Amino acid sequence: MMQRYLEVKKETPGTILLFRMGDFYELFHEDAEIAARVLGLTLTSRDKTSSNPVPMAGFPFHALDGYLKKLVAAGHRAAICDQVEDPKTAKGMVRREVTRIITPGTLTEDSLLDPKRSNFLAAIFPEKERVGLAWLELSTGRFQCAEVSLVAQSRKNAKPFAALRTGPTGPRLEALFDELARLQPAELLVSEDWRIDPVVVALGTIPDLVLTERAPWSFVPARCVDVLKNHFKTATLEGFDLEDDSPAVFAAGALLDYAREMQRTGVDHVMKLEPHRRGSNLLIDDATRRSLELTRTLRDTRRDGSLLAVIDETVTPMGARLLADWLSNPLTDVPAINARLDAVAEIAADRSFAGDVQSLLKEAYDLERLTARVATLRASPRDLSSLARTLALLPRLKARLAGRHCAKLRSLEGNLDLCAEVRRDIEAAVVDEAPLNVAEGGVIRPGFNAQLDEFRDLSNGGKQWIADYQRQEIERTGITSLKVGFNKVFGYYLEVTAANAAKVPPEYVRKQTLKNQERYITPPLKEYEDKVLRAEERALALEQEIFSRLRERVSQECRRLQQTAEVLAQSDVLTGLAVLAVRSNYCRPQVVADPVLDIREGRHPVLDRVKLSGEFVPNDVRLGRTGDVASPDLSTAPHILLITGPNMAGKSTYIRQTALLTVMAQMGSFVPARSAVIGVADRVFARVGASDELSRGQSTFMVEMTETARILNSATERSLVILDEIGRGTSTYDGVSLAWAITEFLHDEVGCRTLFATHYHELTELQTTLAGLANANVAVREQNGDLVFLHRIVPGAADRSYGIQVARLAGVPRDVIDRADVILKTLEADHHKETGELTIPARKPRRKIHALQMNLFDADNHPVMSGLRDLDPAAMTPDQALDELTRLKSKAREVAG
């Protein structure tokens, strides 16, 4: 057995091997040690008497899913080696084979996946100036690829920006990092050969990303292309709008190869490879994505508290995943955005529609993931009955979608394939409450297969035969207490009381003598027993066969099922957005191509939700282009808004909410505002607060400037830029000067819509020189020396900053606040002096703090010191010296008190 173990271990390098032995999965050697650590299993050893015992750990087979979850969460890969023969019939040792390999990126089991999140496996193929990236969600079969440029994507004439993540001469990796941040893959495949490739080295620094190294040959371009052609059974990849020589295709081929290797049962549900083109989406870089907390919060990277959590009114996991996808990839094409908005508007206008659709969808199972399990021949009987139940809802959904006006809902109705035969086939064959496991039987409906019914009758219906036989034998022998019984050791037997033993006919064969009974068997009874037991076995085998055939048959319809799953997901997302719009009082944005923004009474979607109603103060934003003829009413609006105001007033909230509303509108959602005209942005940039890049070894200021450099170099006229307190991490003069120059550059060279929140009041002077810039501030009121935040954005510069008042609100001690006030006044007065000298009045301590330690000055007068001074060690005996030392010590104690 250990020999087989070692063979299998050799076949599955880099994985933790779970080796089935009877009712347990066992782990040995290093795997056992890892399992003990990660899974909390007790480490024991095999063959304790040996001088070199083998470490070992294990768990019962039914606990597999729970343990797999923990192993995968800890970033491990696990190979499951099962017994592939029935131990009862096996000759010699039971045959064991690896039945699946579970890796973070190739999960398909519901129990291991988060229903609301896509779980991507990704692969890269770096070339000189571009890198191919492919990603696959194995649990649904969605497979995409893209080419990402490694050359700085600068605006025309812009100088390439300085040292980025891999140093001044390395490739520019931001675009790749942005894509990975968008996808958040669980596992990324690279070639062993690329260990020192700068791209791969940089990827190794991304937290929570498992890099899996593959043999170099699996990345050989010709092979990669062949893998894809063979899988899709096509002569070229042109049908997918892909070139055979693109690194994106190579990455996809290497990825599919791996997926096939891990999923021993096949990946037939991967039916197409879709090219992902960057141009059709609103680009949101990694830093912006995090700053805006689109899908996770900045501080603890949780979904709760993110924009996604707030706008999610979907009722199915398919919908939840698609919503996350839409939010991560907002559109730029105005007609495409409007198509979604039309659908949301139509649903929002018809309350009963949303209610009906949601109550239907709530009953649906995760059709996308069910289909994938059918396709990989891993669907359980229960999966098939869940599939049929979901299909049973479709006629009602189709009826509800019928007669809609907008194109999107009409096309959903058109694409909703009822798959009626699939449903009919499953319903005809599988019982309503199907068990999880086919091996125990009870899967196939009675009446479906005559042969099966016969076997079952024979095994169940034996009762009648037994009753008849028992009656017949009572009559024949005259023993009225004669009974037929059954136990596992002897099978069927006849039982007679000891008193009647003499009446037993000679053909009865005695098998067992109990205290008061004798047990016998007879040839007819044994013959019958044989038949019954065989029938049971044959019934089980036949059930399995029928089930496998059915699953095979359903798997032929994967494409249709996938299409239907997509319709369900889209219906769910659109309905969810409509419910959100109505429930949260959102308005339909008017999406236009001009780079303008006119939001009236806009609210921050997340704060609006958490604050009590009426507590959130709505604000307007109007950005335009001077002299813009297309939007005359915005022609006088600035395109840069410089917002000053006290801390805590709501500056960050205001600028973020503007970016969030733009993202929401471009994904096809209504927005929290009274009205909104949103000019489509090609990119959104948010430089907000300190980010957590310290772990990547950069200083806060360096990170801030790197991100700023990127904005300045790649923003276009159509971009939306949100800047929060640029230049904060350096000296005031440096900071002001940088912020000043950055603002001028954005105004003169880029011309993009910009919201800039700052504490540097000096910058408000820019209004006099920059025509497209306007000042705004957040209103506050001082009441009896206290500060009241009104959270209202008003035109003009803030008159002062109120930092000290805010510090007082925060509980900074009174002494410090008063002192800061004095210093501030002096600074303000000095500011206007010609000399430039700074004379801060000295601080007057309010109370003296007693020094606990003696200072040198005090030491001179100390009684112990004078005692020491008077000593003449030369004239003392050791005893006297000791006495004197003891005396001085107690004196010292006394004084210290």
Catalog residues that contact ligand ATP under the rule CB under 6 A. Answer: 607, 615-617, 645, 647-653, 757, 791
**Nearest distance from C-beta of residue 330 to ligand ATP, angstroms:** 23
Token code pair at residue 319: 């919908």
Please identify, using beta-carbon distances, which residue of 767 and 801 lies nearer to ligand ATP.
801
- Confirm whether residue 865 is marked as ligand binding: no
The whole-angstrom separation of Cα 626 and Cα 635 is: 5
Please identify, using beta-carbon distances, which residue of 551 and 651 lies nearer to ligand ATP.
651
- Confirm whether residue 22 is marked as ligand binding: no
**Nearest distance from C-beta of residue 291 to ligand ATP, angstroms:** 13
The whole-angstrom separation of Cα 398 and Cα 108 is: 29
Residue nearest to ligand ATP (CB): 650
**Nearest distance from C-beta of residue 29 to ligand ATP, angstroms:** 54
Please identify, using beta-carbon distances, which residue of 200 and 617 lies nearer to ligand ATP.
617
Q: Which residue has the tokens 């070992």?
A: 56
Please identify, using beta-carbon distances, which residue of 615 and 883 lies nearer to ligand ATP.
615
**Nearest distance from C-beta of residue 585 to ligand ATP, angstroms:** 15
Please identify, using beta-carbon distances, which residue of 511 and 792 lies nearer to ligand ATP.
792
Please identify, using beta-carbon distances, which residue of 653 and 714 lies nearer to ligand ATP.
653
How far are the Cα atoms of 134, 147, 233, 511 from residue 179, in angstroms, in the given order?
10, 10, 29, 75
The whole-angstrom separation of Cα 308 and Cα 363 is: 23
- Confirm whether residue 646 is marked as ligand binding: yes
**Nearest distance from C-beta of residue 656 to ligand ATP, angstroms:** 8
Contact 397, 426 (CB under 8 A): no
Give the helix ranges, DSSP H, for 121-246: 174-183, 198-203, 221-232
Give the helix ranges, DSSP H, for 584-727: 605-610, 651-667, 700-714
Nearest to 257 by CA among 207, 311, 216: 216
Beta strands 96-102; 142-149: pairing state: unpaired
- Confirm whether residue 619 is marked as ligand binding: no
**Nearest distance from C-beta of residue 790 to ligand ATP, angstroms:** 9
Please identify, using beta-carbon distances, which residue of 72 and 648 lies nearer to ligand ATP.
648
**Nearest distance from C-beta of residue 807 to ligand ATP, angstroms:** 11
The whole-angstrom separation of Cα 109 and Cα 102 is: 10
**Nearest distance from C-beta of residue 610 to ligand ATP, angstroms:** 8
Q: Which residue has the tokens 């907390």?
A: 293
Q: At what angle do helices 558-583 and 334-348 cross, to 10 degrees?
A: 70
3-state secondary structure of 173: coil
Fill in the DSSP letter of residue 798: -
Token code pair at residue 33: 């040690």
- Confirm whether residue 652 is marked as ligand binding: yes
The whole-angstrom separation of Cα 754 and Cα 746 is: 8
The whole-angstrom separation of Cα 520 and Cα 494 is: 5
**Nearest distance from C-beta of residue 242 to ligand ATP, angstroms:** 45
How far are the Cα atoms of 67, 438, 525, 712 from residue 532, in angstroms, in the given order?
39, 20, 11, 82
The whole-angstrom separation of Cα 432 and Cα 540 is: 18
Please identify, using beta-carbon distances, which residue of 390 and 658 lies nearer to ligand ATP.
658
- Confirm whether residue 459 is marked as ligand binding: no
The whole-angstrom separation of Cα 796 and Cα 793 is: 9
- Confirm whether residue 649 is marked as ligand binding: yes
Fill in the DSSP letter of residue 306: S
How far are the Cα atoms of 49, 384, 530, 563 from residue 269, in angstroms, in the given order?
51, 16, 44, 12
Please identify, using beta-carbon distances, which residue of 649 and 705 lies nearer to ligand ATP.
649
- Confirm whether residue 460 is marked as ligand binding: no
Residues placed in the known binding site for ATP? 645-652
Residues placed in the known binding site? 645-652
